[in-house]
Amino acid sequence: MGRRGESFMRYSIFSLARNAISGHHRWPRQWPDATPREAYSIIIIGGGGHGLATAYYLASRHRISNIAVLEKGWIGSGSAGRNTTIIRSNYGLHENEAFYEFSMKLWEGLEQDLNYNVMVSQRGILNLYHSDGQRDAYVRRGNTMVMHGAGAELLDREQTRRIAPFLNFENARFPIMGGLLHRRGGTARHDAVVWGYARAAAALGVNIIQNCTVTGFQRDSQGAVVGVETTRGPIRSEKVGMCVAGHTSQVGSMVGLKLPIESHVIQAFVTEGLKPVIPNVITFGAGHFYISQSDKGGLVFGGDLDGYKSYAQRGNMPVVEDVCEGGMALMPMIGRARILRSWGGIIDMSMDGSPIIDRTPIDGLYLNGAWNYGGFKATPASGYCFAYLLANDTPHETAAALRFDRFREGRLIDEKGVGPQPNLH
Amino acid sequence: MRIVCPYCGDRDTEEFIFRGEALGRHPGLNSDEYAMFEHVYHRTNLSGKTSEHWYHVQGCRNWILVERDTLTHTIYSARLAKDGES
C-alpha cells in the first residue's frame, strides 16, 4: 500500500526501539490537521469512527484519496468517545448477523491493516439466561451465529459458574441457568480505533479537518447536493456522505430529509480502577445490565435507554438506579466498587432497531446512520460498506438490506419484534 | 424530570410511558399508502422544543400532551391530549 503524508512513520519493534533510545521525544504527529481546500471528490461529514473508517476504505480499497472528513469538534468526540467499547457478532436475524460478522472479521485483521494497536481483545461475551424460554431463544440465536461462522456455545449453569464464579447463583427470582458464550466477541480501545483510522487515512492523502461545522448544503439547479457550507467557508464536492449518527435528523433537516429515526440518550458508567476481576463481557438476561473491565481496571457498565428523546448527552437518575440495581442483582460484589464517572451519549434509534447505509432521495447525498446500540462494533464494516456505496453507487452485498426502502416495503429488520417504537428496541 | 399531570399533579416521569412525538391522528384507513407510511415511520426528531405524548400509566391513565425541550430536558407544559392540540 502506498503511503503519502510527510510525517508518516510505520510502527514496528524497530521504531519503538529507535524512539526508546531517543527518550520518546521524536515521535512524529500521527496525522496532520488539514485546512479545507475549495473542492474535493468526496466530503464525509463527521469525524468519528464511521466517518474516518469510510475515508480510510475509500482511499485504501477504492483509490479515491481526494477526500475531506469534516468534524465539528475534535475527532472521536461524539459517540465514538462515549460508547462501552464492545465488539460482537451475536445477532439473531440474517441481515444483522451477516453484517456484524463481516465487521468482526475486519476487527480481527484491523491492527495489521492500520498498523495501529487498537487493542482488540477477544475475551468473549457471555449472555446469561434465566428461564427455559430464554434458553430456547438463545439456542435459536446461537444457531444463527453458527450458520454465519461466528461461533456460539450454550453453557449450562456449572459451565457458567466456572467462568464467572462471582455471579449471584442464589438469586431465587432470576436464577442463572446458563449462558450463550460468543468467544470471538470482546472489546477494543475506542479512541485508538478513531486515531488508527485517522492516521492511516491521512497517510493516504485524506484531509482531516477539525473544528469545522457543516451549516448547510450547496444545491445545483436540479436540487442535487454539490457541496457544503461550513463555519470555515463553502466547500464543493461531487458527493457528500453523512456519518453523524446521533444527529442524523439534524443534519438531514438542512436538506428537508424525512427520516425514520428518533434520537435517544443512553448512559454508561465506570468505576475506580480495580485488579482484574471480570474476565469477559457479561450481560444480565433478566434486567438491563452489562459489564466488562477495561485494561486500566475500571468496571465499564451500562443498561437501557432513558426512554425519552434527547440531545442532551446526559441522562436522569431513574436509569442510574435501574442499572445499579441490575448490577447488584447479578454480582453483589460490585457494591464495593465506587463509581468514578457516568455520562450519556446520543444514539439514532431507528423504527426497526437496525441501521441504514444508503443513498438518499437527493442526488449526491449519501447517508450512514441509525446505528441504535450497534455503532461501535459496526465501525469497520460500516466504513467498508459506506465507502463501497460512495465509490460504486451500489450497496455492498453485506449491507444490501440496510436501506431506506425496507420501511416502506415492509421488510423490517426488527431484532426484538416490537414494531415502530424506537425506545423499545 | 417531572411532569405536572393536569389530573394528578406534580409527578416523576417514572410514572409515565414515553410514546413519542405528538403526531395527531393517523391518516385513516382510506388514505393512500404513502401517507400511512409517513405517519408510521417518519419523525421530525427536532433538537429543541417539541410536543410529545406521554401516558400516565401509574396514575390517572390519561394521555398527556407535553411540551418539552429535547436539548435541555425542560418541561414547559402538560395538558390532557383529549383536549386537543393547540
Kindly list the residues from chain A whose CB atom is less than 8 angstroms away from the CB atom of residue B34: 408
Cell of A335: 457494591
Of B18, B34, B38, nearest to A307 by CB-CB distance is B18
Kindly state whether B12 is in contact with chain A, defined as any CB-CB distance less than 8 angstroms: yes
Closest CA of chain B from A308, distance in Å: 6
Of B34, B43, B72, nearest to A312 by CB-CB distance is B72
Helix or strand run (H / E) with residue A387: helix A375-392
In a domain, A26, yes or no: no
In a domain, A107, yes or no: no
In a domain, A10, yes or no: no
In a domain, A116, yes or no: no
Shared domain for A274 and A130, answered yes or no, is no
Range of the domain at A292: 261-350
Q: Which of B45, B54, B58 to mutate to test the interface with A (most CBs of A within 10 A)?
A: B45
At which residue does the C-alpha cell 498498523 appear? A115
In a domain, A99, yes or no: no
In a domain, A328, yes or no: yes
Low-confidence winner among A40-49, A122-131, A216-225, B21-30 (lowest mean pLDDT): B21-30
Q: Which residue type is seen at A43?
A: I
In a domain, A101, yes or no: no
pLDDT value at A293 more than 50: yes
b/e per residue A175-206 (b: at least 16 CB within 10 A): ebbbbbbbebbbbbbbebbbbbbbbbbbbbbb
The pLDDT of residue A1 is: 39
Shared domain for A176 and A215, answered yes or no, is no
Shared domain for A370 and A325, answered yes or no, is no
Q: Mind listing the pLDDT tens digit for each residue in B74-84?
A: 999 999 999 87
Domains along chain B with CATH numbers:
2-22+37-83 (3.30.2270.10)
Give the ipTM: 0.95
Of A183, A210, A225, the residue at which a domain comes to its end is A183
The pTM assigned to this predicted structure is 0.95
The pLDDT of residue A7 is: 61
Of A250, A308, A351, nearest to B47 by CB-CB distance is A250
pLDDT value at B86 more than 60: no
Q: What is the mean pLDDT of residues A278-298?
A: 96
Shared domain for A172 and A209, answered yes or no, is no
At which residue does the C-alpha cell 465501525 appear? A379
Q: What is the mean pLDDT of residues B4-21?
A: 96
Per the DSSP assignment, residues forming a β-bridge with A42 are: A67, A239
Closest CA of chain A from B2, distance in Å: 11
Kindly list the residues from chain B whose CB atom is less than 8 angstroms away from the CB atom of residue A249: 43-47
Shared domain for A194 and A252, answered yes or no, is yes
Q: Which residue type is seen at A11?
A: Y
Cell of B1: 424530570
The pLDDT of residue B85 is: 60
Shared domain for A267 and A334, answered yes or no, is yes
Subunit contact A263:B47, Cβ cutoff 8 A: yes
In a domain, A102, yes or no: no
Shared domain for A373 and A252, answered yes or no, is yes
Kindly list the residues from chain A whose CB atom is less than 8 angstroms away from the CB atom of residue B75: none
CB A241 within 8 A of CB A386: yes
Shared domain for A343 and A358, answered yes or no, is no
The pLDDT of residue B34 is: 93
Domain count across chain A? 3
Share of chain B above pLDDT 70, in %: 98
Kindly list the residues from chain B whose CB atom is less than 8 angstroms away from the CB atom of residue A261: 43, 45
Q: What is the mean pLDDT of residues A273-287?
A: 96
Subunit contact B45:A307, Cβ cutoff 8 A: no
DSSP state, A365?
E
Q: Mind listing the pLDDT tens digit for each residue in A256-265?
A: 999 999 999 9
Shared domain for A280 and A331, answered yes or no, is yes
Shared domain for A340 and A358, answered yes or no, is no
Shared domain for A166 and A301, answered yes or no, is no
Q: Mind listing the pLDDT tens digit for each residue in A348-382?
A: 999 999 999 999 999 999 999 999 999 999 999 99
Of A350, A376, A409, the residue at which a domain comes to its end is A350
Share of chain A above pLDDT 70, in %: 98
Cα dihedral A16→A377→A370→B71 (10° resolution): -70
Low-confidence winner among A93-97, A318-322, A408-412, B25-29 (lowest mean pLDDT): B25-29
pLDDT value at B53 more than 50: yes
* Nearest residue on chain A to B34, alpha-carbon basis: A408
CATH of the domain at A330: 3.30.9.10
Sheet holding B17-21, edge to edge: B17-21, B49-55, B63-69, B75-80
Shared domain for A206 and A228, answered yes or no, is yes
Q: What is the mean pLDDT of residues B36-64?
A: 96
CATH of the domain at A44: 3.50.50.60
Low-confidence winner among A85-89, A334-338, A418-422, B23-27 (lowest mean pLDDT): B23-27
The pLDDT of residue A389 is: 98
Of A305, A320, A350, the residue at which a domain comes to its end is A350
Across A274-417, the runs of DSSP E, i.e. the strands, are 281-284, 289-293, 298-309, 339-350, 356-359, 365-369
